């Protein structure tokens, strides 16, 4: 009786998906990139050893130069770098091991580069600033952390404050800019206020309305404002005086507008008590700006600056560090105010 043997036919290979093919190519690319990066670091270290060590033994120098020659040729030809990269690593672990820099040196260099870059940004581009009091409520709340653009008006010489100095200034602040500046009477601390008057302006403040007359003009212009039918309540404290959080004074909310820029300010329901001879009009010198806080009845600003008994509303342009751009943290009396994070400063 004959026995028939059955043979199983090999199953046809399934076609590979585009994703599978792409992932395989991506894996090969990553492997090639990793080998090339490791080889480049090894080649860089060997070149440094050859340059810095004139007394290197002749066989070790010859092997190193040959390995570098092969590496450079393969890189130029875009060929497989596995063997060449392995040979460079072998030389560093063998004949050249005593000439290598300590592995920690690379971390030190990376740290110094990162620290230098951070210092450059801090000195010339961006600087963090924390709001210590309620003079800019409602725009900025006590405890807000903001970033200040130090590059927008010019290039300031870092760490100069008495007097402040700039390498160059290519623009000045505009009306409505919220700026951080060095307090002008003693050059001792940083303040933050809103620019209302520009160099050469005449400023007038009456009945909760700001008027300005630009230099060379005869007509007064008003900062348009209107009272808002919204609740006005806030929590306040002065960190410089180590105050605890406390409710702010009863207030009213207003909207102000210059051109296309709009912001909110507040006024106490009970007007601030001022001496009868307190000025209501100020001349802004040609190299200065006039600033006010958005919490109009609770802000020490250009209106209250005095020098030798006379009004001194000048905030020199040289004292301005930069423009407030956005809030990046906002811790308040009841925790983090999440809705304020990464919001722009209007």
Query: Using CB atoms within 10 A of its CB, is residue 20 exposed (0-12), middle (13-18) or buried (19+)?
Result: exposed
109 token code pair = 């260099």
| Cα(147)–Cα(150) distance, integer angstroms | 9
The active-site residue out of 135, 299, 302, 330 is: 135
Query: Using CB atoms within 10 A of its CB, is residue 138 exposed (0-12), middle (13-18) or buried (19+)?
Result: middle
Q: Measured over all CA atoms, what is the biggest interatomic distance in the chain, rounded to whole angstroms?
A: 131
Element (H, E) at 92: helix 82-93
Q: Catalytic annotation on 343?
A: no
- Transcribe 189-220 into DSSP letters: SEEEEEEEE-TT-EEEEETTEEEEE-TT--S-
The active-site residue out of 193, 299, 302, 330 is: 193
Residues 6+ apart with CB under 8 A from 78: none
168 token code pair = 């160059």
Q: Catalytic annotation on 20?
A: no
In 3D, which of 260, 304, 242, 301 has the Cα closest to residue 279? 304
Tell me the catalytic residues. 135, 193
């Amino acid at each position: 009786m004959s026995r028939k043997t059955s043979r199983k036919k090999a199953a046809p290979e399934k076609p590979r998906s585009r994703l599978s093919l792409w992932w395989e190519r991506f894996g090969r690319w990553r492997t090639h990139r990793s080998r090339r990066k490791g080889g480049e670091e090894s080649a860089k270290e060997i070149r440094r050893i050859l340059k810095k060590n004139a007394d290197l033994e002749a066989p070790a120098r010859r092997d190193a130069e040959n390995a570098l020659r092969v590496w450079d040729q393969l890189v130029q030809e875009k060929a497989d770098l596995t063997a060449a990269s392995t040979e460079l690593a072998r030389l560093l672990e063998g004949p050249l091991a005593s000439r290598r820099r300590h592995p920690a040196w690379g971390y030190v260099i990376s740290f110094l580069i990162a620290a230098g870059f951070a210092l450059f940004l801090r000195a010339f581009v961006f600087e963090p600033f924390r709001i210590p009091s309620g003079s800019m409520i409602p725009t900025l709340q006590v405890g807000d952390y903001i970033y200040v653009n130090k590059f927008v008006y010019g290039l300031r010489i870092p760490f100069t404050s008495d007097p402040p100095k700039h390498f160059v200034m290519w623009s000045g602040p505009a009306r409505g800019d919220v700026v951080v500046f060095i307090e002008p009477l003693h050059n001792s601390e940083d303040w933050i206020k809103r620019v209302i008057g520009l160099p050469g302006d005449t400023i007038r403040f009456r009945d909760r309305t700001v008027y300005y007359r630009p230099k060379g003009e005869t007509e007064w212009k008003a900062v348009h404002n209107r009272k808002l039918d919204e609740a006005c309540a806030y929590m306040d404290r002065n960190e410089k005086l180590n105050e605890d959080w406390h409710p702010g004074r009863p207030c009213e909310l207003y909207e102000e507008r210059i051109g296309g820029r709009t912001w909110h300010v507040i006024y106490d329901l009970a007007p601030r008590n001022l001496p009868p001879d307190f000025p209501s009009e100020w001349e802004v010198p040609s190299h200065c700006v006039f600033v006010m806080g958005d919490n109009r009845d609770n802000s020490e600003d250009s209106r209250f600056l005095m020098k030798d008994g006379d009004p001194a509303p000048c905030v020199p342009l040289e004292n301005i560090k930069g423009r407030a751009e956005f809030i990046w943290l906002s811790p308040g009396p009841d925790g983090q105010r999440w809705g304020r994070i990464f919001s722009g400063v209007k």
